[in-house]
Amino acid sequence: MSKAVGNAVVRNRTKRRLRAIAAARLSGIPAGYDLVVRANPAAADATFAELDDAMARQLEKATRVRSR
């Protein structure tokens, strides 16, 4: 995770949140997909719910594009 996200405490908190969200959504990812999660600086200020919504939107978008 980039230092642009914040200091070590913020980066680790953001990383833990993103891991938990990804783990909860793994069952919804179709076979054959590789999941790469990259945090941008705005992720440091986002709540867990906001990160979860963003992850849901991006996963929906990625699976919709590939199924065309």
The pLDDT tens digits for 30-51 are 888 888 888 999 999 999 999 9
Domain with 35, as residue range(s), is: 3-66
The two three-digit tokens of residue 19, written as one number = 């891991």
Q: Quick one: which of 15, 50, 13 has its CA closest to 58?
A: 50
Give percent of the chain above pLDDT 70: 94
Residue 53 has a pLDDT of 96
Domain count, the chain: 1
The two three-digit tokens of residue 14, written as one number = 């953001």
CA distances from residue 68 to 15, 27, 63, 64 in whole angstroms, order as listed: 32, 21, 9, 7
Residue 3: CB atoms within 10 A of its CB come to 10
